[in-house]
Amino acid sequence: MSELFSPFTLRGVTFKNRTVVAPMCQYSSQYGFANDWHLVHLGRFALGGFGLVILEATGVVPEGRISYGDLGLWTDAHIPALKRIVDFLHSQGAKAGIQLAHAGRKASTPVWWRGGFNETEAEKLEYAFEDWTPVAPSALRHTESNPEFKLPIALDRAGMDRVRDGFASAARRAAEAGFDTVEIHAAHGYLLNQFLSPLANKRNDEYGGPRENRMRFPLEVIEAVRAAWPADKPLMVRISASDNHPEGWKVEDSIAFAREAKARGVDLIDCSSGGFEGGALSPAPLYQVPFAEAVRDGADIATMAVGLIDDPADAEKIVAENDADMVALARGALEDPNWAVHAQNELDLKDSQYGHWPKQAALRIRDKDRTLRLRAFAN
């Protein structure tokens, strides 16, 4: 049997396989509410055989959104639409996750495909346009080269408490909506990553300076979420394992952080990278897998590999060789929402009985393959 398609258990949750759809912002929400786009976009991945589908970066407070089009979970009113999505994912055998996020100084930016704040007055009403001043560990703009990134306000103690409590409250709402796991977003140059990285954190209090101080607030958030999240459900954290910058956060820092996160109840580290100006790493197939392997071995914690993983044989090798415990796709899943069932057919050809396709499609696909002598009927 394929290792990629073997079950995997964290706490009281068993994923039917190791394939994951990584969070992907859709910028298609109004006031944080999920809608039919999100249901159809996410539901197709469950139909396509993925074991875990993680919803996009979801603002734990309104000002934590990357853009006005992001999902939110700062009010109970957001729960019903999310529960509808969770229920559908469950009906197709997939587990449901949600990424809880705060964008920090990268908040209140344009919907990316627009190329700027160019909405007409009519569009502002239609899309529920909002604009605000972001917050951050330090009053430093993400980059001076792009005026769309605003100058943030440095968080004081009250502001940090609001963020921490927002994460915890969002976790409680996620549990009410029925999610199987939550993922804390501490990657890609967003708020918790900003606290971790010396590139963005220039504080001179107990939350800045040495690595132990820079880890303090993200660890406080983890503690708050773990206390709010059911004990029998796993907690994940996405990190940028490296800033890919000579003066930034490094893999050895990620290992130290993962150890502390594990001690506070985190069950898996999702290993990405980058997020700050000046980072230098050329994306290529499997380019982030070594991060997952290093954190897994160095912190003795389960990891998820992500980043241009497309070939099922590569994904199989990642799990079989213990480089990571789960494998996540983002753009690859957008291109082929059925990637998981296609991969299972390829890796488990001899055992292919088409039962991993939805029942509404299985026999039709089997008959097509028989007629064309494909997959299990090739010989």
Q: Which two tokens stand for residue 219?
A: 């660890």
Number of neighbours of residue 54 by Cβ within 10 angstroms: 28
> In whole angstroms, what separates CA 85 from the centre of its chain?
16
Cα R_g (the chain), whole angstroms: 21
Is 207 catalytic? The answer is no
Is residue 32 packed enough to be buried (19+ CB in 10 Å), middle (13-18) or exposed (0-12)? Answer: buried
Q: Which two tokens stand for residue 233?
A: 């459900």
Round to the nearest angstrom and report the end-to-end CA distance of the chain: 20
Q: Give dist(CA 307, CA 284) in Å, integer.
A: 8
- Residues near 118 by beta carbon (within 8 Å), at least 6 away in sequence: 110
Please tell me which residue in 27, 68, 190, 354 is annotated as part of the active site: 190
b/e map 337-374, b = 16+ CB within 10 Å: bbbbbebbbebbeeebebebbeeeeeeebbeebeeeee
- List the catalytic residues: 190
